[in-house]
Amino acid sequence: MKNMMLITSSTKEGEKTFKLIPIAEECPYIEGIFYNGNKILALIGVNKKDIFHMMPKLDANGDPEFRKVPAKDGVPVKQERRVIETYQEYYLEEVSEIAEFVKMFAVNADTFDYAQYLNAEVKEA
């Protein structure tokens, strides 16, 4: 079952963290990333599902159609509800469960220091 590898990465905010990447075809996940701020491991699975999303309505040129007056939520463009195929997402919130998951799936869990991220203090904004 150890078909992922731990690597050092950064969040969008530039904070150092770890990611899990697949190293085998049979891996049930595309990737995983640990978010330091809220101590959540977000995983993206290989299975897809249909989800409804509000998407901008486009004109004949492919440009968004603007409203005469912005909607109540402040959105300036017309929107329509569309079904989009997306990958299944999973979120682990308990530090003990995250550690267990890493031990179960990562080939380098015993050599990569992922605990430094799990045990780091959360910085207040």
pLDDT tens digits for range 49-96: 999 988 999 999 999 999 988 888 888 999 999 999 999 999 999 999
Question: Which structural domain range is residue 30 located in?
Answer: 4-118
Cα separation, 39 vs 21, whole angstroms: 18
Quick one: pLDDT at residue 43? 97
Parallel, antiparallel, or unpaired: how do β-strands 79-92 and 40-56 relate? antiparallel
Q: Is residue 124 part of a domain?
A: no
Q: Is residue 54 part of a domain?
A: yes
Asked if 55 contacts 77 with a C-beta cutoff of 8 angstroms, the reply is: no
pTM here is 0.77
Q: Is residue 125 part of a domain?
A: no
Count structural domains, the chain.
1
Q: Is residue 31 part of a domain?
A: yes
Q: Is residue 29 part of a domain?
A: yes
What pLDDT, in 10s, does the model give residues 36-51? 889 999 999 999 999 9
Q: Is residue 75 part of a domain?
A: yes
